[in-house]
Amino acid sequence: MIYKIESSKDLETVVKDFEDAAKSHKFGVLANHNVKVTLNSKGVEFAPECRIVEICNPHQAKKVLEANIDISTALPCRVAIYKDKGRVTLSTIKPSALVSMFHNPELKSTAEEVEKEIVKMMQEAAG
């Protein structure tokens, strides 16, 4: 259900490298949420460094949304990049797991394609 990989790089470098990898794989970077900054600005103390990067391949998104517009509730794809026990971790919910919840078996190969690309991006950023 979840794909996770660790990196020995610092968090900011991994975030930048992930965004660069996403662009090179023809995914747009829609947002980069700094969870710590957002929560702290709302008066909620949160110390861990955590970013959530939202990405999208518009051609794949169109294919999925035309098959089942309800899948829009699970888009865009998100990759969390955070520091845990001194290590930087990249983590995502596998698109194949998300799509399986919507009972559209015809989208299995599309989800697997997207997943394969996201895993490559994460590996490139972590490496």
Q: Which residues, including other chains, have CB under 8 Å from residue 63's CB and lie 6 or more apart? A: 107, 110
Q: What is the pLDDT of residue 12?
A: 97
Q: What is the pLDDT of residue 32?
A: 97
Q: How confident is the model at residue 105 (pLDDT cuts 50, 70, 90)?
A: very high
* Residue type at 127 in one-letter notation: G
Average pLDDT over residues 97-122: 96
**CA 81, 84, 88, 90 torsion-angle sign:** negative
- Domains, the chain: 2-126 (3.30.310.70)
Residue located via tokens 């008066």:
43
Q: In whole numbers, what is the pLDDT of the chain averaged over residues?
A: 96
Q: What is the pLDDT of residue 20?
A: 98
pLDDT digits (tens, 9 = 90+) for 28-73: 999 999 999 999 999 999 999 999 999 999 999 999 999 999 999 9
What CA–CA distance (Å, rounded) separates 46 from 127?
Answer: 28
Dihedral of the alpha carbons of 27, 91, 100, 65, in degrees to the nearest 10: -30
What CA–CA distance (Å, rounded) separates 5 from 40?
Answer: 27
What is the pTM for the complete model shown?
0.94
